[in-house]
Structure 1
């Protein structure tokens, strides 16, 4: 990740956009802006940002719908939602449709910049380019492909990172806090329900092709075992 990463700031309040633009440029980022959902979708297509700071409450379509539209088009730009509502349902909804993190308003600029850098680190292509194999599952980090019993499975970036972490530590029980830290980069915050949601997504895609691999240890966490 270079310091000149391009960040798209999406908020309908010009004062908030000005604040974030000034702070992000001070910290070495290139910044583009959008004031509505439609502008945000167009800006992603045109400017190809490395990350998007996306306000949930927009005047035309909300931030969740913007993210949903982009993901349906195959756009995988990392998204950090900006929301005034710190509720479990909003958090899970935002992350389940392809968001990477969320920041609750009001926020400190220092915390926002730290979250931007954390998401950029987390979503950068892996340096090791390993091919992981457990039972009949093969995960190739160089090509971001997953196969089970020879059948390719389409995973979102977050599902891919979660499966890779489970495979790298197969046979070991990983707590929800450990998964939040290593997959989402959340050490001191984060809703454990997000982990449960993504585990269910993985099971839905893996289990039709063979015996269940991801096991729940109640009250503890999850383990991937052949």
Structure 2
């Protein structure tokens, strides 16, 4: 994902770069609205993170010009300390696709950007997920492997859905924690306990293991390469 960050808070920009570049994304930054608008209309970005209060041209004006004068449909999430309803309405009317108030958690911004990207590409949420011989019907919540029913706790079903939706891509620990607990994860490593329970149900009775641990990153649900080559 290639992102443009239009933000004059240098510390926040540095945090965004550290977080998203560590996850393989590419970022450009603009410290004011005029520079941001120039980059947005001359470069190709998957999404834009846009601050409201900016030097030289504020965020809503950047967005208005981008939408009306340059006919851009790039997804834009607006960042602001303004949390009153009239301000939110003004942001959406200017053309924002989403609105996030400061301070915010970086994993939440990541999840919101992923959702914007999915909508922009017209992807419909799959109702039946299948990876190898594992099948998860999201309508009925039935999970089977090789036709055998698996009985999962609600937390394990949430984790499995996140892993299967992303498969074969990795899902970070932060993304999985957000899927389970939103912005208020519990103390301690509860995620590890839930992953253990999920593994015991999904992989325990079967020869081919699907849930992979990626050190310092997160987890992935896919057939390991050595299994493919057998």
Query: Into which bin does the TM-score normalised by the smaller protein fall?
Result: 0.5 to 0.7
Quick check: 1:50–1:77 contact (8 Å CA) kept in 2? yes
1:44 corresponds, among 40, 43, 46, to 40
CA RMSD of aligned residues (A): 1.7
Quick check: 2:19–2:106 contact (8 Å CA) kept in 1? yes
TM-score, with structure 1 as normaliser? 0.53
Does 1 or 2 have the higher relative contact order (CA < 8 Å, sep 6+)? Answer: 1
1:80 corresponds, among 72, 77, 82, to 77
The aligned runs of 1:172-211 (5 Å cut-off) are: none
Query: Aligned-pair distance for 1:107?
Result: 0.6
How many residues in Structure 1 have an aligned counterpart in Structure 2?
125
- Unaligned runs of 5+ residues in structure 1 are 129-187, 189-226
Quick check: 2:41–2:66 contact (8 Å CA) kept in 1? no
Quick check: 1:9–1:21 contact (8 Å CA) kept in 2? no
2:61 corresponds, among 62, 65, 70, to 65
Give distance in 1, aligned partners of 2:94 and 2:54: 17
Q: In the alignment, what sits opposite 1:10? A: 6
The aligned runs of 1:76-225 (5 Å cut-off) are: 76-126=73-123
TM-score, with structure 2 as normaliser? 0.52
Q: Which structure 1 residue ranges, 4+ long, deviate > 6 Å from structure 2?
A: none
Q: In the alignment, what sits opposite 1:166? A: none
Q: Specify the structure having the higher radius of gyration (Cα).
A: 2
Give distance in 1, aligned partners of 2:41 and 2:94: 19
